[in-house]
Chain A
Amino acid sequence: MTAPAAAAARPEPLFLDFFYLLRVNGVPVSTREWLMFVECLAMGLAAADLHRFYALARATLIKSERHYDIFDRVFAHFFAGAEAPAGLADAVEKWLEQPLPVPQLSPEELAMLERHDPEELRRMFEERLKEQDERHDGGNKWIGTGGTSPFGHSGQNPQGIRVGGSGGGRLAIQIASQRRFREYRSDLTLDVRQLSVALRRLRRLGRDGRATEVDIDGTIDATAKNAGDLDVRLHPRGKTA
């Protein structure tokens, strides 16, 4: 059969699952936009840089800031598996509020820390979250700040999971999981003020602006009555705006 040959001639669309995952989560991505995205990848834009890849995918696939939050979550889930477990305890965020300064590590120590893979990290994170019951800063195991544990922030662990805070040592893979665009979501209930703004706007509807279009019939009539001397008549536009 020719199936393998055909597959070789037509490269497998790389992230088709990502496309459907976005759609399932309510982002209206169309085929046309997906093709634009794939075209960009084929041109070698965003080669080997996850942050640029993220920017590229967002610019081509997402057309409204209210979908940025969903996009961020789907992206983080799909590409890093780094979505924090649901209901991350508020207490954890509190421990992390005042960070310690970043410690300087020797290359040997850094190399020692380079060994976790994301799946393992995530599992450890959830376990440790269960065990931990108070604030820890500057250590190497618990979730806290300024230490060398893979969890927390402002610390130095090359592959760590950042929990809140801002990136210090190196750009974490989980940039998308910060949920920076949460406030722009549209699936929230309207409040009284928003309704009153909408109603106020409706009340203002009415004839607006000057007469801008040439009234051809009127101009001919007026010019004829004016003994052939030109008398231009204008009328306002028939359509709104």
Chain B
Amino acid sequence: MFAQFTGTDRYIASLELQEAVNVALALQRPLLIKGEPGTGKTLLAEAVAEALGRPMFTWHVKSTSKAQEGLYVYDAVQRLHDSRFGDKDVGDIRQYIRFGGLGQAFLHPAPAVVLIDEVDKADLEFPNDLLHELDQMSFEVIETGDQHTARHRPLVIITSNNEKELPDAFLRRCIFHFIAFPERDLMGRIVRVHHPQVRQTLIDEAIARFYWLRGLPELRKKPSTSELIDWIAALVRGGLDPEDLTDRVPFLGSLLKKEQDLEAFDRHRKRKGWT
């Protein structure tokens, strides 16, 4: 039987998410994770790596990233510079090949976890350029002609913030999971993991206030889970009591980050007669 993922002490995964990870492991397919910012997409890869005891390789995708960079980069400029002084053997191209996150995971002697973070940042064609490598788990270094094949197929976790649509051919090969915003009881458990020492009454009050804020229709950017966790940390450090949350929201800046949102909150505050 293959390894099973059920979350970790620090990472609470819903049953659907656990199942998606386990399916990806069983079928050796890439796992595509979407969801609102701050729902723990990136943390998932770390949690899976920790739970399975595998090393993790990360490849942060940027708007200028090309598919090949995740496999390897050939540093031609360094080679040219070295050629001026002759202190290295510039005839040996291999020392100018640097492997990217995906390439390193393929070459790793044990099964690994690869995180391809924010795949939607790159060009539309980017995921399509990776299809062959993800299917075959092998690639060729064109400059040297070396063919590298993964000895153990790594678990590839790909995150997307939904900024761009991903190509169908790519989607068809992935296992997909959308991390929905946690409901209250799941949120209670998540917060408890991060703040095991905090009084339950304070957590309950804070979560209630947090969902009320999220429910305000005018907000442009709703506060996320990670912001809630930071906010509770601020409340604790400020030595506040649950009663302090009844008629005001202290440390509002850690929840609302946009000026329009603060103004919208101000209007609600006045209507409620808060201080």
Q: Which residues of A contact B (CB under 8 A)?
A: 28, 30, 32-33, 36, 39-40, 43, 45-46, 51-52, 54-56, 58-60, 62-65, 68, 180-181, 184, 208-209, 212, 214, 219, 229-230, 232, 237, 239-241
Contact = CB atoms under 8 A, between A and B. Distances in A.
Complex A-B, nearest 6 residue pairs according to Cβ-Cβ distance, in ascending order = A55-B19, A65-B178, A59-B20, A63-B171, A55-B16, A241-B123
Nearest to A209: B64
B19 A180 contact: no
A59 B23 contact: yes
Interface stretch (B77-85, B144-152, B190-198): B77-85
16 contacts: A32-B172, A40-B26, A40-B27, A52-B15, A54-B16, A59-B16, A59-B20, A59-B177, A62-B176, A64-B176, A184-B178, A208-B63, A214-B77, A219-B80, A229-B84, A230-B84
B84 to A, nearest CB: 5
A51 B177 CA distance: 15
B114 interface: no
B174 interface: yes
A241 B122 contact: yes
Contacts of A58: 16
Interface of B: 15-16, 18-20, 22-24, 26-27, 29, 32, 34, 63-64, 76-77, 80-81, 83-84, 122-123, 168, 171-178, 180
A28 B177 CA distance: 16
Contacts of B24: 59
Which secondary structure dominates where chain B touches chain A?
helix
A33 B22 contact: no
Given A40-B23, A65-B178, A212-B64, A232 B15 contact: no
Nearest to A44: B1
Given A51-B15, A65-B34, A241-B123, A214 B76 contact: yes
B29 A52 contact: no
Most buried by A among B16, B77, B80, B178: B178
B119 to A, nearest CB: 13
Contacts of B172: 30, 32-33, 63
Contact of B23 (A60, A68, A230, A240): A60
Contacts of B84: 229-230
